[in-house]
């Protein structure tokens, strides 16, 4: 940066980027809550609890599963909605999207430890190592599809957009 103006411009861009990310995240939460409330999807609770107890018999007790079931049920309902939209819209995940997501994830991991300005080659090497793990790839694919579904809803539903101050936005969390 060669001037004070460039410095302030860069700060403004960073703040805008972070707030846009936070706003999109909040939209995703609100979207899921509203859809789950309006669609009233019924799941076979007793069956699902028995199934979860069976597949997790050495990990969790029935009581733990019953206590956590509302979160599981909410996630499962969202997965059903998301999968249906992704299928109808023919959403797929490309290798480029996977690499971009892994790069972004790697950068955020490094940033959490204050390592914000690592060379791209180092971050890319770490990201490619992450992509060697099949479980990580599956998680990334799910997140990418989830993001596409949320973006699809954002583009295809009537939104009641409200501008709020930063303080008001913080209270929404």
Q: Is 12 domain-assigned?
A: yes
pLDDT at 173 over 70: no
**Cα(29)–Cα(37) distance, integer angstroms:** 12
User: Is the domain of 98 the same as that of 157?
Assistant: yes
Q: Which domain holds residue 7?
A: 1-40
CA distance 126 to 74: 33
In a domain, 130, yes or no: yes
Residue 1 confidence (pLDDT): 66
**Interval 83-141: pLDDT, tens:** 999 999 999 999 999 999 999 999 888 888 888 788 888 889 999 999 999 999 999 99
Q: Residue 60: inside a domain, yes or no?
A: no
Residue (of 128, 68, 58) closest to 99 by Cα position: 128
Per-residue pLDDT of 18-28, as tens digits, reads: 778 888 888 89
Please give the model's pTM, rounded to 2 decimal places: 0.79
User: How many angstroms separate the CA atoms of 66 and 160, rounded?
Assistant: 36
Q: Are residues 35 and 93 in the same domain?
A: no
């Amino acid at each position: 940066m060669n001037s004070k103006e460039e410095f302030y411009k860069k700060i403004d861009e960073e703040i805008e980027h972070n707030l846009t990310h936070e706003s999109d995240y909040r939209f995703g939460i609100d979207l899921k809550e509203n859809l789950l409330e309006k669609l009233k999807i019924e799941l076979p609770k007793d069956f699902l609890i028995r199934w979860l107890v069976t597949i997790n018999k050495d990990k969790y007790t029935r009581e733990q599963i019953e206590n956590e079931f509302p979160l599981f049920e909410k996630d499962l309902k969202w997965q059903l909605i998301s999968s249906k939209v992704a299928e109808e819209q023919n959403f797929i995940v490309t290798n480029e999207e996977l690499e971009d997501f892994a790069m972004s994830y790697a950068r955020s991991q490094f940033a959490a430890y204050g390592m914000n300005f690592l060379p791209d080659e180092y971050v890319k090497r770490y990201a490619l190592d992450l992509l060697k793990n099949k479980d990580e790839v599956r998680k990334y694919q799910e997140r990418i599809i989830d993001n596409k579904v949320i973006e699809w809803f954002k583009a295809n539903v009537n939104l009641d957009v409200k501008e709020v101050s930063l303080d008001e936005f913080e209270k929404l969390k």
